[in-house]
Structure 1
Amino acid sequence: MPTLRQLEYLVAVADLNNFGRAAQACNVSQPTLSQQLHALEARLGVVLIERHSSGAQLTPIGREITARARRLVVEVRDLRDLARRAGELLVGTVRLGVTPTLGPYLMPPIVAALHREQPDLRLHIRDGIPQEQALELSRGDLDMLLSPLPIDGVDLEVAPLFDERLLLVAASDHVLAAQRTLHIDDLAGLQVLCLDRRHHLHRQVAEICSGFGMELLRDYEGTSLDSIHQMAVSGVGLAVLPELYIRSDVLGRDGSVVLDVKGWNFTRTIAAAWRTGAAYRDAYRLIGERIKTEAHRLIG
């Protein structure tokens, strides 16, 4: 029978399409990983991986076997987690993936509160792109994910937590900042900044711009909310920013204002996710509720 370690190597190669990176991810040498995968193919009597100079690709039967291997690997990890729990709800390290458009502006008070309430809990927080982190969650590299919807992944339980407003921000000397009454029609033709297209926020802002005749500035995609905000302050364009970011007092330190536009009513839904049947699912649900409570305290 194949060993669990061989299946872990196969899943790693499938995810990374490269023997060297897969070996590094599994903390083994490349010859060891390659040898074990050859042994797995010999044991099963099929070719699982096409090896070539530019990388590695799964064969059709390799894809089928890898999908089943992934489920087995994740289930074994969950069994190990369940054993480590030893009857405690919040003990050990939880690997939490968080979008960078949310984590820095929401998580600090939550982390502090959880540490006071559950001193044996450790949160290992990793910023990342939501779509990429959903894949990491599905394959067991993350335990829990906090992200805007949609969260797409295999065998995930998704729990919506709260809605966050998206607000329109301009430089304080922008022509619209001096107008007492603004309507959606006043926005037509105006230029809008946003993050790069890997972020959920980019897609939402693109839809808003398309619906109201605004121009999304593709040549000025920011790498963070701070960079978007700073470009807006310098007059490059308007910015659509999440409410928690704005409430973090960024507007109190420089020349920008939130525009009050009649008919502007855009939000994003923030959700928590974890693997279906995960050993710590009750703990993840409790953490999600704690996040929900704190978010409602901050934004009502």
Structure 2
Amino acid sequence: MRRLPSLKNLYYLVHLHKAQNFNRAAKACHVSQSTLSSGIQNLEEQIGSQLIERDHKSFLFTATGEEVVARARELLAQVQELTDMAQSAGDAMKGTLRLGCIPTIAPFLLNRVVKEAQHQYPDLTLLLREDTTENLLAMLGNGELDLLLLALPVDTAGFHTMSVGIDPFQVVIHKDAQHQSKLSYEDWPDESIFLLQREHCITGHAISACNLQNREKINPFAATSLHTLVQMVDSGLGSTFLPQMAIDSGILKGTELLSYAPEGQEAYREIGLVWRQTTSRLRTFRTLGEMIAGLLPSKGE
């Protein structure tokens, strides 16, 4: 029988590709650098092809190596799902689930999600990871995460999405500028609206949902968090748009800020779950999605 490649060695290869450094990859795999290097050499022998071109100072992946890494990620993700399925012994809401969430949702919703899951499904363990949408989608594709909780719409090509509710936007201004609430956005001062950095998808969602068409109204300063936005507006420098779940969680407490619904049509971002189309845990994800939907408002409420 032909000798098959080791899953452990494939695991080493994937981490080396991610870290692009033998020492960092070995630490991530909790092995010595020599163990990781030997494992990859064994993998090349098992496959019968060179995966990495090396010299005494650097290395690079061959075309075959890049293809093996891509397929190894899919294989390792499937093995993880197979293990989780076996451990759950037919119970969809049992075992471990690795959930990723974006920073503009995680501080305001995850605590409620975890508590409700512990109450309804005590045999289900949630492992949480907070990161940007782009990074989370990459980790989902690589098999590092099982499920994502994101703000939609977002490019989720190759993944399945399930809407679980909405999160309305509110305009936030300083109390000394409350006359501004009676004005159209077009009448606001230029550069008076503060938003998050572009890697946070909430910026695009807020601009679209609130029908903010004149970009001259947006201040070039871009905050890294919603809490920073609150500080900027509380200093009297301008205004911003915040999601309702952040306001409900008390982000405006201790400030002199007021919030009100944006002008025109109902403005909100859609909240949804995202998972790989090849997953074997569809029932788990849909059940958890229905639970989260009970914690969020829906369209028309």
TM range (shorter): 0.7 to 0.9
Question: Which blocks of at least 5 consecutive residues in structure 1 are unaligned?
Answer: none
Distance 1:238 1:187, change over 3 A: same
Provide the C-alpha distance between the structure 2 equivalents of 1:217 and 1:4, rounded to a whole number of angstroms.
50
What amino acid maps onto 2:127 in structure 1? H
- Cα drift, residue 287 of structure 1: 0.9
Partner of 2:176: 173
Most deviating of 56-65 and 88-97? 56-65
Partner of 2:23: 20
- Cα drift, residue 271 of structure 1: 1.1
Partner of 2:286: 285
Partner of 2:12: 9
SS of equivalent residue, structure 1 residue 217: strand
Provide the C-alpha distance between the structure 2 equivalents of 1:89 and 1:269, rounded to a whole number of angstroms.
26
Distance 1:218 1:203, change over 3 A: same
The answer to whether the 8 A contact 1:19-1:56 is kept is no
Distance 1:238 1:142, change over 3 A: same
Provide the C-alpha distance between the structure 2 equivalents of 1:55 and 1:200, rounded to a whole number of angstroms.
36
Partner of 2:226: 225
Provide the C-alpha distance between the structure 1 equivalents of 2:58 and 2:233, rounded to a whole number of angstroms.
42
The answer to whether the 8 A contact 1:81-1:279 is kept is no
Partner of 2:213: 211
- Cα drift, residue 74 of structure 1: 1.2
- Cα drift, residue 259 of structure 1: 4.5
RMSD: 2.7
Provide the C-alpha distance between the structure 2 equivalents of 1:99 and 1:180, rounded to a whole number of angstroms.
29
Provide the C-alpha distance between the structure 2 equivalents of 1:262 and 1:198, rounded to a whole number of angstroms.
26
Provide the C-alpha distance between the structure 1 equivalents of 2:27 and 2:289, rounded to a whole number of angstroms.
32
Provide the C-alpha distance between the structure 2 equivalents of 1:50 and 1:203, rounded to a whole number of angstroms.
42
The answer to whether the 8 A contact 1:11-1:69 is kept is yes
Matches within 5 A, 1:19-98: 19-51=22-54, 56-98=59-101
- Listed one character per residue, the Cα deviations across residues 271-291 of structure 1 (whole Å, up to 9, x for unaligned) are 101222323221111111111
What amino acid maps onto 2:152 in structure 1? L
- Listed one character per residue, the Cα deviations across residues 117-164 of structure 1 (whole Å, up to 9, x for unaligned) are 212122222221121111111222112110112455674221122222
SS of equivalent residue, structure 2 residue 237: coil
What amino acid maps onto 2:275 in structure 1? W
Matches within 5 A, 1:126-275: 126-152=129-155, 155-174=158-177, 177-179=178-180, 181-187=182-188, 189-205=190-206, 211-219=213-221, 221-263=222-264, 265-275=266-276
TM-score (norm 2): 0.87
- Cα drift, residue 101 of structure 1: 0.6
The size of the alignment, in residue pairs, is 297
TM-score (norm 1): 0.88
Establish whether residue 121 from structure 1 lines up as the match of residue 124 from structure 2: yes
Distance 1:263 1:54, change over 3 A: farther
Most deviating of 194-203 and 287-296? 194-203
